[in-house]
Amino acid sequence: MRILITAGPTREYLDDVRYLSNASSGRMGYALAAEAVSRGHHVVLVSGPVELSPPKGCEVHFVQTTEEMRIACEQSFAVCDGVIAAAAVCDYKPLQRVVGKMSKTGGPITIDLIETDDVLAELGRKKNGRWIVGFALEATNSRENALQKLRAKNCDVVVLNGPSAIGAANNSVELIDDTGEPIESWNGPKETVASELLNWIECRW
């Protein structure tokens, strides 16, 4: 199969040196890419800024902002069989980006934020028979929120994990389908979770 995989965080810049982001290490997405390559799949990896080396043998597109990730994913998705969206995308960005570097004023400042592009929803709208595996990081009402994400973004299944997954070597996940209930659960090193998820994908598609 030809598989699109997203990994890592995105950054939304306040000025030329400061940005909003999160603590995603990219390990889950990179583990998935390495496992898929080892099985002979053609992998297109769209990665935000991480301190990891991409697996040898995959096609890599490095991005920083959510808009850049959306554009790279839309260009690649058209020739892929499916996508595993493991990236931790920023949900908000500054309404205006300051040119240069903001200086201290001695007082508080207010920054207006707007929602970023919804990368996964855009892919879901262009699904056209391809399969979509989303990731949902939830702290409360986890399964309910994962089901809402599955439906809103036209995913086939969603991998549900919690905040402890961010930056960690291990992960504990549930695979949620359109019933809102877990059909599989895996835990351990992210490489193990990646292997189990690829096993399931290969059996399903």
- Side chain identity at residue 49, one-letter code: P
Specify the residue for token string 């839309």: 74
DSSP string, 82-119: EEEE--B--SEEESSPPSS-PPP-SS-----EEE---H
**Contact 13/51 with Cβ under 8 angstroms?**
no
Q: Are 123 and 155 in contact (CB under 8 A)?
A: no
Give how far Cα 182 sits from Cα of 7, 54, 159, 185, Å. Answer: 23, 30, 9, 7
Catalytic entry in 22, 154, 170, 199: 22
Question: CB under 8 Å to 40, separation ≥6 — which residues?
Answer: none
Active site residue 22: yes
The number of beta carbons lying within 10 Å of the beta carbon of residue 89 is 23
Residue with tokens 């890419």: 33
Active-site positions read 22
